[in-house]
Amino acid sequence: MWRGLRPFHSRMDTSVLASRYGGALLTPHSDGPGHLVSRDDPSHLAAFSAGRPPGSLDTRGVRSLEVRWIFPGELATAMAGWFGRFTAETKALEDSYLVDPHLPGLSVKIREMQALEVKVYHGSPGLLEIAGRARGRLETWQKWSFPHGPPSHGSGDPAGWWRVRKRRRISQCSQGGPAQARVPELSKQQGCAVELTEVSTRCEAWWTLGFEATGPANSLRSELDAAAALVFAQAPPGGMELNLDDSSSYAQWLLRRPGAGSGLAKEAPR
């Protein structure tokens, strides 16, 4: 959960993103915040100015409703078995998150050295509460993905970026029940992705359970509620209850990690 985070309404500081992203420049579209174009390709800028999407870029992005819990330590076998009652795809991923400088209201990451993903926070509509089983803060986001080649950096982690390795089990649910597993990033299909992920970063082991609903804005809450009801119909093993203190986005979790950067070391009040 973002502490002290406000919904993003002002223009992005593109000079900061450009310097941290090895020169791949992004700039807001003149229509206002939330519309991003690449200045590396003049045809993209012309397309945006004409009001049409250039190639695979989507000016609208994808709206999502999300909740996540993150826990220290190795994923227990019992928890993996609890999640294993659903059909799921398992995939290893490596993401790098921009942690320094801190950009309030934004989450920026490089996924698999193949795409720059930018998420804009639009506030919290409240809490997800499953009596005796889970309580977490819901977050609304708008996100975009920009394909690219490997960044022009040497080996190791570039300054300001934090590498996170993930082994993710993910399933797609709908209000009618569990559907065939698929990778849901930036999907426009209506439904809710549910993931159980083992996380490794800087010799530390963590694990996380997350829900991400996408589709029409008026269906996001009902899709997430239906998925949560399905998943938590069976209590987590060992009487475990997922609580609000463990509810956090990846970006906010990294903000609290030692050494994340001077701009991220401070936490504002809730």
Q: What is the pLDDT along the chain (270 residues), one digit of tens a residue?
A: 344 445 544 444 444 454 454 444 343 333 333 333 333 433 333 333 333 344 445 567 899 999 999 999 999 999 999 999 998 999 999 999 999 988 889 999 999 888 999 999 999 999 999 999 999 999 999 999 998 776 565 556 678 899 999 999 999 987 755 544 455 544 557 899 999 999 999 999 999 999 999 999 999 999 999 999 999 999 999 999 999 999 999 989 998 887 665 443 333 323
Say if CB 12 and CB 28 are below 8 A apart: yes
Phi and psi at residue 168, to the nearest 5° = -110, 130
End-to-end CA distance of the chain: 9
| Spatial distance between the Cα atoms of 144 and 134, rounded to a whole number of angstroms | 29
Q: Give a yes or no: residue 83 inside a domain.
A: yes
| DSSP 8-state secondary structure symbol assigned to residue 88 | -
Q: Give a yes or no: residue 32 inside a domain.
A: no
Q: Give a yes or no: residue 138 inside a domain.
A: yes
| Spatial distance between the Cα atoms of 108 and 116, rounded to a whole number of angstroms | 7
Q: What is the CATH classification number for the domain harbouring 123?
A: 2.40.320
| Spatial distance between the Cα atoms of 64 and 136, rounded to a whole number of angstroms | 16
Alpha helices in 189-266 (DSSP H): 220-231, 250-255
Residue ranges making up the domain that contains 211: 60-255
* Overall number of domains in the chain: 1
Query: What is the helix (H) or strand (E) element at residue 77, kind and residue range?
Result: helix 77-83
